[in-house]
Amino acid sequence: MDLKEYRPQLEEVPGLFDRIDGDVPPELAETVLTTTVDMAINWARKNSIWPMAFGLACCAIEMMAVVGPRFDLSRFGAEVFRGSPRQADLMIIAGRVSNKMAPVVQKLYQQMPEPRWVISMGACATSTGVFSNYALIPVNQIIPVDIYVPGCPPRPEQLIYAITLLQKKIESSRGTALKVLNLA
């Protein structure tokens, strides 16, 4: 036989598959799964986002609607609005940011523990919208923004979609375990 053409059949290699499968007791074979620490932490984080409860203008009415029974944000694990920045990891900028409010928003953001995320909801928060005057400031000039939601006002479904995009971003984070251990 020409050795160059010889390809051993998988079943000819003793123990190739039963080496792994044979070690797992049958009662555990369908109940145990393996993953990485990064993925486990990301999975927990993305399914337990806690937004901060505050609104700056009319967009906040649409933001409030997402926790009602019609839109039911709890389907995505993000319905626990917190009254304190120290218990929140998501800041939703729902409405226009005035120059007078900008330092307050910035301070609230700084009081949130890491990791923290920001959604800019509506045209006013993102670009001062229809007002576009000296009294307002786009929110990304004072804090970093992860997701922008267009519209005036955006519908509650749009905010929910933004939260699902944020979940994808959290899920794909790398180096989470090292950051948790302060090694990165």
Does 152 participate in binding ligand SF4 (rule CB under 6 A)? yes
Instruction: Tell me whether residue 67 or residue 170 sits nearer to ligand SF4 (CB atom).
Output: 67
Instruction: Tell me whether residue 124 or residue 139 sits nearer to ligand SF4 (CB atom).
Output: 124
Choice from 41, 58, 80, 101 touching ligand SF4 (CB under 6 A): 58
Residue 34 near residue 20 (C-beta atoms within 8 A)? no
> Is 92 strand, coil or helix?
strand
Does 138 participate in binding ligand SF4 (rule CB under 6 A)? no
Does 39 participate in binding ligand SF4 (rule CB under 6 A)? no
Interface mask toward ligand SF4 for 62-101; x: CB under 6 A = ---------------------------------xx-----
CB neighbour list of residue 127: distance below 8 Å, 6 or more residues apart: 138
Question: Please, what is the angle between helix 156-171 and helix 37-46, to 10°?
Answer: 170
Give the largest CA-CA distance in the chain.
Answer: 85
Question: Looking at 26-34, 37-45, 64-72, 123-131, which segment touches ligand SF4 (CB under 6 A)?
Answer: 123-131
Q: What angle do CA 149, 155, 159 make, to 5 degrees?
A: 45
Rounded Cα gap, residues 16 and 139, in angstroms: 57
**Least distance to ligand SF4 from the beta carbon of 59, Å?**
3
Sheet of 90-94: strand order equals 90-94, 117-121, 147-149
Does 57 participate in binding ligand SF4 (rule CB under 6 A)? yes
Does 124 participate in binding ligand SF4 (rule CB under 6 A)? yes
Tokens of 160: 């929910």
Q: Which residues pair with 147 in a beta bridge?
A: 119
**Least distance to ligand SF4 from the beta carbon of 72, Å?**
22
- Judged by the rule CB under 6 A, the positions of this chain that interact with ligand SF4 are 57-59, 95-96, 122-124, 129, 152-153
